[in-house]
């Protein structure tokens, strides 16, 4: 195949059940007025956004039980969704698609309940623990992925790990995918990020809090954050993107620091905004867009997805409308 493929990996996916309960109260019966169920999990969210941007990706991950089957069905119902089995020599999908390759294991994929109370303006998440994986499950999925990878492909490793997965899973996967010539984007937090960084992924996207935890000290100013980001570049990471919430983001690479201001948009839901930024960066990388185009696209995609409610991905038109509004400046490297 002539172009680079993007693979997203979600080892701990979930069915996201979003419900509305006006005036939710404890210790009494609550009635749901509206509900929707979406396939969830960071890597899957990244794939959804890439499809909306007009790109292709293949979502890989681990599912289980009836809820896992339902998640797979929902993904196939997404616009342009298609089955894509890993067959040697077979080209990836024609056109767009939420292609996927999930491995089924015993147990049930978790269902995460998101309770929105429009009267009290609260958002409450009630997350199930999810299934337990074995080393054999993880190894089998990794080997299927490695069999597909071509040099230059992009692998997005995102989100939490299921029970049974060792803490250094992302380090092992990053290292193996790099050996296959892939560019690894790692979006994880805490110990998972600290471990993954040891294998020097191509790109990481911590927010200011995550970067502070990694550094072991509170980083507040752009200078402090940039200095810490630079230290990570010295460890062999090629791109460090630091998201600052409403303040925007810092984009670091060797010899270049760009600060993009946050776009002021009406907030629908901040859920998945970070995933949209990762999706836009992966799409930009696969398409060979310039550094400045990548900054514009990821800033606009993040903001467009904040305007959306729940876990739906913003349409490309919404992203395009915000592109001209993105303002950024180059800081001294």
Catalytic member of 137, 153, 208, 275: 275
Helix axes 273-287, 42-53, angle to 10 degrees: 50
What is the distance between the alpha carbons of residues 245 and 223, in angstroms, rounded to a whole number? 17
Average pLDDT, the chain: 91
The yes-or-no answer on residue 208 being catalytic is no
Q: How confident is the model at residue 4 (pLDDT cuts 50, 70, 90)?
A: very high
Q: How confident is the model at residue 98 (pLDDT cuts 50, 70, 90)?
A: confident
More confident residue, 154 or 86: 154
Given this model, what pLDDT does residue 273 score? 87
Average pLDDT (181-194) is 97
- Report whether 245 contacts 207 (CB < 8 A): yes
Question: What does the pLDDT look like over 55-69, one tens digit per residue?
Answer: 999 999 999 999 999
Answer whether residue 30 shows pLDDT above 80. yes
Answer whether residue 90 shows pLDDT above 60. no
Q: How confident is the model at residue 180 (pLDDT cuts 50, 70, 90)?
A: very high
Given this model, what pLDDT does residue 2 score? 59
Give 22: exposed, middle or buried? Use CB within 10 Å, 0-12, 13-18, 19+.
middle
* Percentage of the chain modeled with pLDDT above 90: 81
Given this model, what pLDDT does residue 82 score? 36
Given this model, what pLDDT does residue 78 score? 59
Answer whether residue 309 shows pLDDT above 80. no
Closest alpha carbon to 20 in 112, 119, 111? 119
Residues ≥6 apart with Cβ < 8 Å to 253:
233, 238, 239, 240, 291
Task: Write down the pTM of the prediction.
Answer: 0.90
């Amino acid at each position: 195949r002539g172009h680079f493929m993007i693979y997203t990996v979600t080892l701990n996916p979930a069915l996201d059940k979003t419900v509305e309960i006006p005036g939710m109260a404890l210790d009494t019966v609550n009635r749901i007025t509206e509900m929707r169920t979406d396939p969830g999990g960071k890597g899957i969210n990244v794939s959804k956004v890439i499809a909306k941007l007009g790109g292709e990706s293949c979502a890989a991950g681990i599912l289980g039980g009836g809820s896992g089957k339902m998640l797979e069905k929902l993904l196939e119902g997404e616009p342009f969704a298609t089955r894509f089995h890993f067959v040697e020599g077979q080209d990836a999908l024609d056109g767009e698609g939420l292609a996927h390759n999930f491995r089924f294991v015993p147990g049930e994929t978790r269902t995460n309940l998101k309770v929105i109370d429009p009267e009290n303006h609260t958002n409450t998440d009630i997350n199930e623990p999810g299934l337990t994986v074995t080393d054999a499950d993880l190894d089998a999925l990794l080997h299927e992925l490695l069999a597909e990878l071509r040099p230059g492909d992009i692998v997005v490793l995102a989100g939490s790990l299921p029970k049974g997965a060792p803490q250094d899973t992302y380090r092992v996967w990053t290292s193996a995918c790099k050996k296959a010539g892939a560019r690894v984007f790692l979006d994880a937090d805490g110990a998972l990020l600290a471990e993954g960084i040891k294998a020097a992924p191509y790109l990481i996207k911590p927010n200011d809090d995550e970067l502070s935890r990694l550094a072991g000290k509170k980083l507040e100013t752009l200078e402090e954050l940039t200095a810490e980001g630079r230290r990570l570049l010295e460890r062999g990471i090629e791109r460090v993107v630091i998201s600052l919430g409403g303040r925007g983001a810092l984009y670091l690479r060797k010899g270049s620091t760009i600060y993009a201001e946050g776009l002021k948009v009406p907030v629908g839901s901040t859920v998945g905004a970070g995933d949209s930024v990762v999706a836009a960066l992966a799409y930009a990388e696969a398409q060979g867009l310039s550094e400045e185009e990548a900054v514009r696209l990821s800033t606009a995609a993040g903001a467009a997805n904040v305007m959306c409610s729940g876990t739906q991905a913003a349409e490309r038109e919404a992203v395009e409308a915000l592109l001209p509004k993105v303002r950024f400046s180059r800081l001294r490297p």
